[in-house]
Amino acid sequence: MTKKLFAIALIANYGLFFSQAGINTSTPHASSALDVNSDTKGMLLPRLTTAAVTSLSSSASEGLIVFNKETKTFLGWDGTKWQNLGFEGSGTSGQTGTVFSQGFEIGSPVNYTISGFSPSSFSFTSGTTTISDAPSFSPLYSEGTRGFGYSNSTTGTVTSTYLEFNTVDASAYTNNLTLSFDLAAFSYGNTTNGLDNTDLITVEISTDSGATYATKLTLTGGNSSTGSNTRWAFSGTGSATNTFAASGITVASPNTTTGSGQTYTGNDAITKLSVTGIPNSNQLRFRIGARNNAATELWVIDNVKLQAL
């Protein structure tokens, strides 16, 4: 009898159970299907990586909301694409804000892979240079406490090693998409070395998830035999930029007549690289290529960001 009465009560209250629900409230608001009530706690949404968000795109239902734990943004599926819910704007007028970032800090998501000539030549850098380096007593990072350095001890002919970032769905961002990062160059372990005109940093962009890349910006360590073994700290104020629509360009700090062993400062030290006007592809991918050929030559990369400005 007890089981029968329970079944009857369950059926009678079916509409009540499934029309509205309240958590920490017995009187959910009439406009809500679910009313979560608390003065001290919040509600946790599913926290996904960028790759997981991209994978979910093919099966997402309109109105689905998730949190991208790599880009630190709330995203909502509008039936066609993900909308960034953390910034003003819409899919037609364009989103603004940070789409992707990597600061190489402890606990930062590993949203990149390393490939090419010498993957083991990439490693985290922290602290400062010493009196045995040039520039001396300079931070090996631009923000936080860590950077990402490349020092290849192979002599002779070398090719680039790539720091390649995961595919990003940037379709919701129709404003000016800009990829930027900070860069420094050191003579590491002695005070007479540095980067040369055959030592390179490249910025390469793909709109088809890495199937093809276009090199948009190349920075060389030196200009010629009279401008070799160059180095500079993150405190420099120089910059190099190119637009995605333009052909790739190669830049370097100003020519010098002081010969080998030049420490650049101020605007002569190119510490900020950027590519602007990047298409808002849902298969956007980018990579940074690094090349040098001496253990005492050190590139350091930090503060990588893709932003809609």
Structural domains of the chain sorted by starting position, each given as residue range(s) with its CATH number in brackets: 1-35 (no CATH), 44-86 (no CATH), 97-308 (2.60.120.260)
Q: How many CA atoms lie within 13 A of 256 on its CB side?
A: 22
CA distance 100 to 179: 9
Q: Phi/psi zone of residue 284: left (φ > 0), alpha (ψ -120 to 50 degrees), beta?
A: beta
- pLDDT at 93 exceeding the cut of 60: no
CA distance 294 to 116: 17
Q: Are 102 and 306 in contact (CB under 8 A)?
A: no
Find how far residue 82's CA is from the centre of its chain.
18
Closest C-alpha among 284, 57, 302 to residue 177: 284
Q: pLDDT category, 63, cuts 50, 70, 90? A: confident
Closest C-alpha among 280, 203, 275, 209 to residue 245: 275
Q: What angle do CA 265, 269, 270 make, to 5 degrees?
A: 160
Q: pLDDT category, 33, cuts 50, 70, 90? A: low
Closest C-alpha among 234, 287, 240, 262 to residue 115: 287
The average confidence (pLDDT) of the chain is: 85
Q: What share of residues in the chain are helix, strand, coil (percent, to 5)?
A: 10, 40, 50
Q: pLDDT category, 259, cuts 50, 70, 90? A: low
CA distance 55 to 57: 5
Q: Is the pTM of this model over 0.75?
A: no
* Tens digit of each residue's pLDDT (9 = 90 or more) over 114-138: 999 999 999 999 999 999 999 999 9
Find how far residue 220's CA is from the centre of its chain.
22
Residues 223-230: what's their mean pLDDT? 73
CB within 8 Å of 16: residues ≥ 6 apart: none
Q: Which residues pair with 175 in a beta bridge?
A: none
Q: pLDDT category, 289, cuts 50, 70, 90? A: very high
CA distance 180 to 178: 6
Q: Are 135 and 232 in contact (CB under 8 A)?
A: yes
Residue 225: per-residue pLDDT: 55
- C-beta neighbour count of 135 within 10 angstroms: 23
Closest C-alpha among 188, 262, 278, 280 to residue 226: 262
- pLDDT at 141 exceeding the cut of 50: yes
